[in-house]
Amino acid sequence: MAFKTRITEMFGVETPILMGGMTGVGYGELVAAVAEAGALGFITAHMFPSGAALKEEIDKVRSLTSKPFGVNLTLLPSINPIPYDEYREAIIESGLKIVETAGRAPTDHLPAFKEAGVKVIHKCTSVRHSESAVRKGVDVISIDGFECAGHPGEDDVGLVVLLPATVDALPDTPIVASGGMADGRSLVAALALGADAVNMGTRFCATQEAAIHPNVKKQIVENTELDTVLVGRPFRNTARVARNAVSEEVATIQRNPNTTFEEVKHLMAGARGRELVYAQGDMDGGIWSSGQSQALVHDIPTCKELVANIMAQAEAVRTRLQSIAG
C-alpha cells in the first residue's frame, strides 16, 4: 500500500522521501539514482562554478531519469561570491519546477520562481523562521531538528517537539521532517507527528551511488549517535559534524569564550573536508557533516534497495500499529 501525502501529490513522487542538498555529495548521478528509486533528490547548486555548469548537471540527470528531481540553493555568506542569480536563471530555463532553499530566506528569488511555476521548499530550524518563510511565499517547510547533520540552528530543539510544533503553527503548509530520519520507523513516526515527508541526508551518503570515498561510508556505518561534534557555536554558526581529530580540536579551542573564527578557520574549511575526507578518504583530514541518525545506518545499499527497504519497514510498522489499535 502506498503512502500518499501532500508532498507526493504536489511533486509527483512515488514515496514521501527526500534527499536534500548536500555539499560535496549532491551530484547528478546520485540525484538520478534517488529519483529512479522513487524518492526526490536535489542537485547542490553551489558546488558548480556557474549557472551554465549547473544547467549541464541538470541535463545530465535528465539523461539518466525521467522522474522528478530538484536543485538546492543554500543561501549563505561566502568568502568567494556565489552566482545565485545565474543558478536561479539556469533552473528556470531548464524547466525544473522544484527548488530547495536553506540558509537565509529566498526572498529575492521568490518572484522569479513564482512566475515560472517553481515550488520552493525552504529549510528552517525553528517555528518562528518557518512562519516567516511562509509569509514571504515559500510553498513547503523542511523543519530541521537538532539531530541533523550540518546546521541545526542555535535553539537545540529535537525533532520530536519541533516537528509537531511547526505542523500546529502551519496547518495549511506541507511539512518535511528533517534531522534524525533514516529508516521506515522514522518515516512512520514523522507522518504520525504531522509531516508530509521525511528528508534524509546522512542515510543517503551511505549508498553505493554516493560519490564519496568508501572510507566515509564505512565510518558512517561504524559510528553511533555519540560520534558527532558541534562546532562553530561561539560564532552562532553551529554545525554538527562527525567526531574526528579535527572536529575534536575545534571543539577544544572553542571552549575558550574569547575564541575568534580566525583561530579555527583553517580547521573548519569546507574545501579541506571535501578534498581530504570525501575525495581521498582521510577520515581525520578535515571536518565533514554527519547527523546523529548515523546510529541507525547499518549497511551501504543501492538507492533503490534503500528506498524499498524503508518503505517495506514503514509498511510493517503500520501493520503492527493497526494490530495494536485492534
Do 307 and 279 fall into the same domain?
Answer: no
CA distance 253 to 82: 30
**Are 141 and 130 in contact, with CB atoms under 8 Å apart?**
yes
Whether residue 219 is contained in a domain is answered as no
For the full predicted model, state whether its pTM sits above 0.85.
yes
In angstroms, the CA 246 to CA 230 distance is 12
> Checking DSSP bridges between strand 228-231 and strand 239-242, what pairing results, if any?
antiparallel
Whether 114 and 252 map to the same domain: the answer is no
56 shares its domain with 203: yes
C-alpha–C-alpha distance, residues 163 and 194, integer Å: 8
Q: How many domains, the chain?
A: 2
Closest by alpha carbon to 76, among 201, 237, 186, 188? 237
Same domain membership, residue 156 and residue 46: yes
Residue 78: its pLDDT value, please? 72
Hey, which residues does 177 pair with through a beta bridge? Answer: 143, 198
Q: Tell me, yes or no, whether 46 and 182 share the same domain.
A: yes
Q: Are residues 64 and 157 in the same domain?
A: yes
Give the residue among 46, 137, 58 at the shortest CA–CA distance from 90: 58
CATH number at residue 38: 3.20.20.70
Check residue 1 and give its pLDDT: 60
Please state the length of the chain.
326
The amino acid that residue 215 corresponds to is: N
CA–CA gap between residue 53 and residue 43 (Å, rounded)? 12
- pLDDT means per 10 residues, the chain with 326 residues, are 92 98 96 98 97 98 98 86 96 98 95 98 98 98 97 96 98 98 98 98 98 98 98 92 96 91 90 94 96 98 98 97 87
Q: Is residue 217 assigned to a domain?
A: no
Whether 37 is in a domain gets the answer yes
Rounded CA gap, 70 and 48, in Å? Answer: 15
Grid look-up 581529530 returns: 245
In a domain, 28, yes or no: yes
Q: Give one DSSP letter per residue of 161-222, joined into a string.
A: HHHHHHHHH-TTS-EEEESS--SHHHHHHHHHTT-SEEE-SHHHHTSTT--S-HHHHHHHHH
In whole angstroms, give the CA distance from residue 309 to residue 267. 37
Nine-digit cell string for 30? 546520485
Residue 291's identity, in one-letter code, is G
Q: Is residue 223 part of a domain?
A: no
Same domain, 205 and 104: yes
Range of the domain at 239: 228-289
| 270 located within any domain | yes
Question: Cα separation of 195 and 164, whole Å?
Answer: 8
* Confidence at residue 174, expressed as pLDDT on a 0 to 100 scale: 98
State the maximum Cα–Cα separation within the chain, in Å, rounded to a whole number.
60
